[in-house]
Structure 1
Amino acid sequence: MTTGQRVREIANWANGSTLLGLGVATLGHCDIRRGPRGLWLADHYRFGFPVAGAFTVGNVLVTAHDWPTRVETYPGLLAHEERHSWQYAVCGGLPFIPLYVAAMGWSVLRTGSRAARNVFERDAGLAAGGYVDAPPRPVGAAVRSLLAGRR
């Protein structure tokens, strides 16, 4: 591991996010093992939430599939999820979660996509995470669209 990766690992243990990630993976009946660069890989997650091909909590990368198959299908996915582990460290751990939800809401408002204008997904690389970019729509039109959908 590089010094930076070791710092990230220590930060995510200290801020509690890796411990939470291991708890989520355990509750999800995952097979958990050490991965590269201070990460933990958790396969076969059994719950339908969050809706994602993979997600990260601290230094724990979780998928409902198995990691070798996921990486074969999406070669950049491990690096994409690793970038999210850095985001946990930078955000001080668990504050990442509400910040991510807010960014996802902004992205849905602006594009109709959970990822296209989500600052965290853009930083991690949209294509590497299996996402496609979408152009932003004017805020007024987005609000009208959302309100129309509620009726």
Structure 2
Amino acid sequence: MILNLTLIAMPFFLLLGVFLLISCFAFIINFTDTMSNILKIRILMLVACTLCISILLCWIGQQLIDVTNDIFLTLVGAPWYFWNINNIKILLMFIMNCIKNENIVLAGICVDYKLIVTVLRISASYALVLIKLRKSSLV
């Protein structure tokens, strides 16, 4: 039940997070000269905390992928030729279950290193587009 609710809400929260990051970049770039120092520090802390949490979540997702890969490599390197038939069958069942790496995938989005790079790249490109639009409207 919780997974179904998460699958419904995940795209909304992802889009909301990307739009929030883009708007923070655009706000910082466009209104840097008129902001007070306290407001600059607050926005900088907001962006830093958001990036740290995003990087941490993506790092945890990548660690899950790496650990399941290490389990598979350990099972493949086991000295199975000294074992009896029942233990070899159990080992083969473990290997078959470990062929595909476990990862956190919700709504088609895999949480790993690629996700944080993609989000940062999209946010920076949209912020640059907003800056160019602002400069072209001022001229």
The answer to whether TM tops 0.5 is no
The normalised TM-score by structure 2 is 0.23
The normalised TM-score by structure 1 is 0.22
Greater RCO (CA < 8 Å, at least 6 residues apart): 2
Larger radius of gyration: 2
Which of the pair is proportionally richer in strand? Answer: 1
Which of the pair is proportionally richer in helix? Answer: 2
